[in-house]
Structure 1
């Protein structure tokens, strides 16, 4: 993969006010742009999306719960593009490029090891790092604590669990185990709906290491 080409083709997806919601990259020289459906949704819908300050046309918008991608078109674009192939895996390095960070793969892997590719968690991390509010190393150290950038997000989940002791007990069981765990189907469904777990067959594991570390501490897993 020619990463200089990738960098040239990757752009920020922003709102009309200039707030970056994510990134995308050009997949045709005619301005077709591939991004995530949740990024378009975060921007307020495709009508609100701005790329280099310009509006876009909608070609396809998926569902963030099933096919989380969107294809937009930037009118008048004449430039480089990344031809897609069946085995093309851009990973989250595109995100770092779009935020002006241009990370190496080891840096991306460090962040992904903590947040597991969770779209919201990735975006929060890159936003604060791009603003120079925090370094990657400090973010990784403070992420599972209430002094880190995810404090409000984590506290909300903890509060919700404390209102439902049976769910708190269930996730405590999951984070205490290094292997997948089988839960009651209703408890499993609720925790999956909250975005705290991921499935492996009929069993579950924490969605990411951030949740494992935080809930191990706050729920006093020995």
Structure 2
């Protein structure tokens, strides 16, 4: 089943790149990108919804929304396994990752832009501290864990320590089982004001800023003009 997920994701990238080239104003910033990716991907996968196992290890039992959940909610139902803005609970705690920015060690709780959970049930949810949300357990197997960045008007979004490089490091450090970790970049201005191609100049800067990582991350650079580029950091 995961092979089916990977095939669907590859088809999605080809399709979205063509649409980006044909209808660039539709992708003028990052806001419409995630909904478009999710809409198209959900049409391609074999299994959409999964039964949910709802846990409360991270929850605050003093909160009535946590304490009364089982008496107020008769049926937790199912949930789609393709989700945006996902936070994770790892071994009962909200998962954070650490990296060095400007010489200081920073700890951050990331929201991953796009997560495709493995199709085998159940889908393990976790309560937030104060009740239900978009928190999921790292025990879930993941087909695709993806962070998305858009160039907007800033070329550094692809490679900067606090932008693209930060996303790659978060993807690599995520502690759960992931088949494919992806940093997906949309470049609206692939040729800059000096008529030079940004990808060729910025690829090495991203690799340098990422440094050594524990798990490989695939980088997909979608250009508004011409072909898209893929490479892997961490092998």
TM bracket, shorter-chain basis: under 0.3
Greater relative contact order, per chain length (Cα 8 Å cut-off, separation 6+): 2
Instruction: Give the number of the structure whose residues are more often strand, by fraction.
Output: 2
Q: TM-score, normalised by structure 1?
A: 0.25
Instruction: Give the number of the structure whose residues are more often helix, by fraction.
Output: 1
Q: TM-score, normalised by structure 2?
A: 0.24
